[in-house]
Amino acid sequence: MFNSSPNKIQLTALPPLALYIHFPWCERKCPYCDFNSHQVKDGKEGFDEARYIKALITDLETELPRTWGRQVHSIFIGGGTPSLLSPQGMDELLSAIRARINLEPGAEITMEANPSSVEADKFAAFSKSGINRVSLGIQSFQNEQLNALGRVHNGDEARRAIAIALEYFKSVNIDLMYGLPKQNLALAKADIETALSFKTPHLSLYNLTLEPNTYFANFPPSLPSEDEIDAIFDQNLELLSTAGYKHYEVSAYAKKDQECKHNLNYWRFGDYIGIGAGAHGKISFPNKITRQVRERHPETYMQAIKTKGNALIESRDIPAKDLPFEFMLNTLRLTDGVDTSTFSERTGLALHTISKALDSASKKGLLDSNPSKLRATQQGLRYLNNLQEIFLS
């Protein structure tokens, strides 16, 4: 039975658990990027691989008492550009992780990679270490667009990277962006058609947005109008649907049974250990749900791990009043939504605590009226921020 009090929670079962590892270095900081990434200068300045891996292992060990007995279902190594790691470093890291956690047999283990850091021998070694899924930051296949985005690779390198990845990994995702400077319907279509020619099981499409504290926020490029972006989105959707990809999350498209398991866990309000510079984590207990944040700068992170054994800058219990918004912030991104029962299972709150918000969202045409589902309508997906904000109160 779930707690009906809006100020207390009570979970009858813990959600699935994943592991996120942050690698904070890149060859170059892209002008649109607001992720916690730091440019490697003069070859390897500021990047001490052995020291960082040691810190990651210590960081993981500090989290183990909070998750004893729980199985980890997926690992995601994000960044930054994790493919800058050496094969020896990746093997050391994954071996240390397997020795410390209960990892599900055949678990999805994803690594993000940029085309400029793709080498056949390196990818072969990563595969042998246990990486079975790679997500490639392609963004575009056209040199003019790539230059405008500040990417360090060109179109030929992008194509080569995909071909190599398909040779060595069970699953490959291509990240593309749309709404790019000077992009029109024809250019956007060319990018999608090139991506589709590789028949990867998964594609991610992101609308270029000008995020605060980025170069583009201070020096914005000329972007297509909202109407042009909407037309590109509709074109993308039609092309991908025709090619057999299901639009299963706001920015994600997959062939049958090829969804990203790690990201699905986020969107279903699952738990995850987060280690590495700037990493966030969410861990549930029977009577509370906690969040953690770590030091953002890699040097500060490593120093904190060495001197005090952890790099936490925030560790807090999520107030029960905030859980409905946090839950909806994630689950409403899924085009199929989730079963209504998932709300109580993952928050420990009774569904009637959000009945007024559900009614309001439904009356506005943003939420499906099906009582067994929490699912955004097509209009709700298009105006997702407006729908999510209804649950802030």
Last-in-domain residue among 265, 291, 312: 265
In the prediction, which pLDDT does 313 show? 97
Would the pLDDT of 111 be above 50? Answer: yes
- Residues 102, 182: one domain? yes
* Residues 105 and 229 placed together within one structural domain of the fold: yes
Spatial contact of 58 and 2, defined as CB atoms under 8 Å apart:
no
Is residue 261 domain-shared with residue 325, that is, in the same domain?
no
pLDDT in tens, 169-221: 999 999 999 999 999 999 999 999 999 999 999 999 999 998 998 989 889 99
Residue with tokens 């939504």: 337
* Cα–Cα distance measured from residue 333 to residue 330, given in angstroms and rounded to the nearest whole number: 6
Bond before 80 cis per omega within 30 degrees: yes
Average pLDDT, the chain: 94
Domain that holds residue 365: 320-393
331 in the same domain as 211: no
Confidence of residue 1 (pLDDT cuts 50, 70, 90): very low
Same domain, 73 and 216: yes
Q: How far is CA 350 from CA 95, 177, 256, 298, in A?
A: 42, 39, 33, 41
SS3 180: coil
11 in any annotated domain: no
Please count the structural domains in the chain.
2
Q: Establish if 308 belongs to a structural domain.
A: no
**Beta bridge partners of residue 139, listed in sequence order:** 176
- The 10s digit of each residue's pLDDT in 272-281 is 999 999 999 9
146 and 229 part of one domain = yes
> Is residue 29 in some structural domain?
yes
Of 247, 265, 283, the residue at which a domain comes to its end is: 265
Residues 109 and 253 in one domain: yes
Type of residue numbered 226 = E
Residue where a domain terminates, one of 245, 265, 285: 265
HSE of 13 in the Cβ direction (CA atoms, 13 Å)? 8
In a domain, 8, yes or no: no
pTM: 0.95
The percentage of residues in the chain with a pLDDT greater than 90, rounded to a whole number, is 88
DSSP-derived secondary structure for 270-281? -EEEEESTT-EE
Same domain, 193 and 45: yes
Establish if 105 belongs to a structural domain: yes
Tell me if 287 is assigned to some domain: no
Confidence of residue 40 (pLDDT cuts 50, 70, 90): confident
Residue indicated by tokens 């270490």: 129
Q: Measured at the alpha carbon of residue 245, what is the angle toward residues 241 and 246, in degrees to the nearest 5?
A: 90
Does some domain include residue 286?
A: no
- What value does the mean pLDDT take over residues 329-354? 96
- The CATH number that applies at residue 92 is 3.20.20.70
Tell me: do 231 and 373 sit in the same domain: no
Q: Which residues, 6+ apart, have CB-to-CB distance to 51 below 8 Å? A: 302
Say which CATH number the domain at 367 has: 1.10.10.920
Residue 77, phi-psi category: left (phi > 0), alpha (psi -120 to 50), beta (remainder): beta
Local structure of residue 282 (DSSP, 8 states): E
User: What tokens were used for 265?
Assistant: 């866990």
Note whether residue 289 is domain-resident. no
Both 214 and 71 in one domain: the answer is yes
Residues 254, 357, single domain; the answer is no
221 and 353 in a single domain? The answer is no
